[in-house]
């Protein structure tokens, strides 16, 4: 069970909006998790967005691990050092079991895969339209995917893309594997409320 976590709160201002900060912070998380996997062969950290809504990820990110030692070694404070004026990072905390309100999975949603599936179904129902024609028509349509996303840049090729994230409520804790984005279709993470209302003070503090 993932018993420990740290919470990152974005601190946007008039010149630095939240969506920009989310992108910068998540790139650093992705780098840290990718480096961990390259060095150890595993990726044991899960990511959740406690303020997730239909069109917004909110301004908070939680990073979960099975032990305090894992989070200490991950060293998110070091990873976020360049962004210290725009984030608040809590100390490593134990998940408050008595405040858990449910569980959820956070996974990558890939619109292109969805469009291809729709094109296959359309061409199967309409033999006069080939799969390629249906795919071309659907790609031309402006589609609202209904999922919040993070602007990202590929670490290997440098291409820019939108990382769409889906949230799926779960009835219980489920184990699974996490990607180097900290996302998983199989694993679920606890959802809970905290009493920490601090997000002000433009500094990276551990409290």
Domain ranges of the chain: 4-192
pLDDT at residue 202 greater than cutoff 60: no
User: What digits encode the pLDDT tens for the residues 21-78?
Assistant: 999 999 999 999 999 999 999 999 999 999 999 889 999 999 999 999 999 999 999 9
Q: What is the pTM of this model?
A: 0.82
Nearest to 3 by CA among 50, 61, 44: 44
Residue 90 vs residues 22, 60, 101: alpha-carbon distances, Å: 17, 11, 21
Q: Percent of the chain, pLDDT > 70?
A: 85
User: What digits encode the pLDDT tens for the residues 123-145?
Assistant: 788 888 887 776 666 555 545 56
Quick one: pLDDT at residue 198? 46
CB 72 within 8 A of CB 4: no
pLDDT at residue 15 greater than cutoff 80: yes
- 4-192 maps to which CATH number? 3.30.70.2540
């Amino acid at each position: 069970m993932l018993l420990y976590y740290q919470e990152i709160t974005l601190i946007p201002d008039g010149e630095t909006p939240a969506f920009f900060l989310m992108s910068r912070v998540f790139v650093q998380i992705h780098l840290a998790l990718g480096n961990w996997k390259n060095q150890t062969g595993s990726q044991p950290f899960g990511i959740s967005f406690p303020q997730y809504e239909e069109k917004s990820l909110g301004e908070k990110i939680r990073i979960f691990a099975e032990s305090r030692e894992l989070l200490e070694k991950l060293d998110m404070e070091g990873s976020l050092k360049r962004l210290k004026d725009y984030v608040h990072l809590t100390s490593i905390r134990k998940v408050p079991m008595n405040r858990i309100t449910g569980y959820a999975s956070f996974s990558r949603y890939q619109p292109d895969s969805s469009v291809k599936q729709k094109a296959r179904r359309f061409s199967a129902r309409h033999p006069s339209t080939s799969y390629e024609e249906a795919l071309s028509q659907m790609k031309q349509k402006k589609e609202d995917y209904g999922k919040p996303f993070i602007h990202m840049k590929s670490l290997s090729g440098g291409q820019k893309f939108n990382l769409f994230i889906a949230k799926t409520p779960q009835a219980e804790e489920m184990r699974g594997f996490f990607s180097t984005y900290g996302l998983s279709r199989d694993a679920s993470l606890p959802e809970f409320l905290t009493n920490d209302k601090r997000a002000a003070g433009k500094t990276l503090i551990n409290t």
